[in-house]
Structure 1
């Protein structure tokens, strides 16, 4: 049985991952910015049976409270899942700097804060796993999504670096890079580029893959020890195309860019 902390657990992939861990008998501390109860008001041990705890991943104070809660109730942690994130993007001349700062603060620095909070504990334990939810956009970079692509590519880099740095302590790092799947993530979408928003929303709504499908594939990847988890076939195909046939990949990406521009007129 593992002790697991999941961020962004109130909906979407975070909720599905929490349920998947629990189904295996793991203890799960569900956290999300939408939960009302703070750690200081929770009298019971961290688990789904006691509900979720509020954690704003952009708040150093919230992370410190989460660490104190884990230490006082569990005495340690086996798996940290930095899953919380937001959707965004926009063409280079449409997306604002405020949008860039907003998405980077959540998608990248949220994972950075979570990692920095628990690394000392993992080092003392000489064990642990850090699981970061990125996106296929961290590996494959379609037009119109520069800020989202950059934030998720940074999460991929953060994860690889974490794995190298902590290997001597018996700590592993894993990054999850799914393609579009049905989730409530689009409710967080912010940005001035409405043309991109329409495209992204359609791809999410029409995906045959559910959050539960992705969660099951993530746990299978963790069981195998995969450091890069590409959990669905569409993501694997796109990643493979970039790796094996860069010329065709570039043609596809540039045709998509033209289509986006035409749709915005």
Structure 2
């Protein structure tokens, strides 16, 4: 039987790159997204690669939407093998300038969207006695970059959630992978909220420096799923800084981050 995957935020960006990769491998691929036109176009492109490609309108802030997807795939496919909680947004700004409305907005999507996906699909995985969650976090969830407290907090929470579920779901033969990329070319900036002037230009510059594409990272994720690997940290520089954070005294690491933050501000 063909393997089955469902990806939130799959109509564009990294979600679509992942869907495209799995479609090329002959998997049944379903993407969920709030952008219906983009979702339909993505479905048409995926249909050229696999015999079963579906677009299911889905808003991750609504548990009922995810439940409807789960019910649809259970009926059509008899279940699903991999669920990728990918949908996410960005928020940039100093702590005193970011509104609580923006905090609630990003938490509802980046964190609770992942929570809802795991909550809805876990019973299906348990019933079929196997399954795998892929939760898309960020190096921002591991590294405390200034002026990104809201984004960092949601992504670190996704890491913690994933670590917890790795232990909790292992007895049910359910795997978990958490993906923590650094900046790479994607469409994250299209929905970004920022109180920092010209942040869109800064983000574009940071993304353009990546030596990895969305497709490169999709391949790493697929390999991690097949090997039941937990952490995926695609960027070498991000991995090095993460190790420094874990090994260095906090004071030395803080100085390093402040120096890097000053360089980024100066390059705008």
TM-score, normalising length: structure 2: 0.88
> Paired residue for 2:33?
32
The CA RMSD measured in Å over matched residues stands at 2.4
1:213 counterpart = 2:216: yes
Give the one of 152, 176, 179 matched to 1:176: 179
Q: How many residues align?
A: 258
1:139 counterpart = 2:121: no
Please report how far the alpha carbon of residue 34 of structure 1 lies from its aligned counterpart in structure 2 after TM superposition: 0.5
Q: Name the stretch that deviates more: 108-117 or 88-97.
A: 88-97
Unpaired segments ≥5 residues, structure 1: 39-45
Please report how far the alpha carbon of residue 205 of structure 1 lies from its aligned counterpart in structure 2 after TM superposition: 3.0
List structure 1 segments (4+ residues) > 6 angstroms apart after TM superposition. Answer: 260-264
> Paired residue for 1:194?
197
In structure 2, what is the Cα distance between the partners aligned to 1:27 and 1:124? 20
In the TM superposition, 1:20-169 aligns within 5 A as 20-35=21-36, 49-169=52-172
Q: Secondary structure, in 3 states, of the residue corresponding to 1:108?
A: helix
In structure 1, what is the Cα distance between the partners aligned to 2:217 and 2:235? 7
> Paired residue for 1:6?
7
Say if 2:18 and 2:215, in contact at 8 Å, map to a contact too.
yes
Q: Name the stretch that deviates more: 246-255 or 100-109.
A: 246-255
> Paired residue for 1:254?
258
Please report how far the alpha carbon of residue 191 of structure 1 lies from its aligned counterpart in structure 2 after TM superposition: 2.4
Please report how far the alpha carbon of residue 61 of structure 1 lies from its aligned counterpart in structure 2 after TM superposition: 1.9
In structure 2, what is the Cα distance between the partners aligned to 1:194 and 1:103? 20
TM-score, normalising length: structure 1: 0.89
Say if 1:134 and 1:156, in contact at 8 Å, map to a contact too.
yes
In structure 1, what is the Cα distance between the partners aligned to 2:109 and 2:13? 16
In structure 1, what is the Cα distance between the partners aligned to 2:172 and 2:53? 32
Q: Decide whether aligned partners of structure 1 residues 219 and 95 sit closer, same or farther in structure 2, where only a CA change above 3 A counts.
A: same
In structure 1, what is the Cα distance between the partners aligned to 2:66 and 2:53? 19
In structure 2, what is the Cα distance between the partners aligned to 1:97 and 1:111? 20
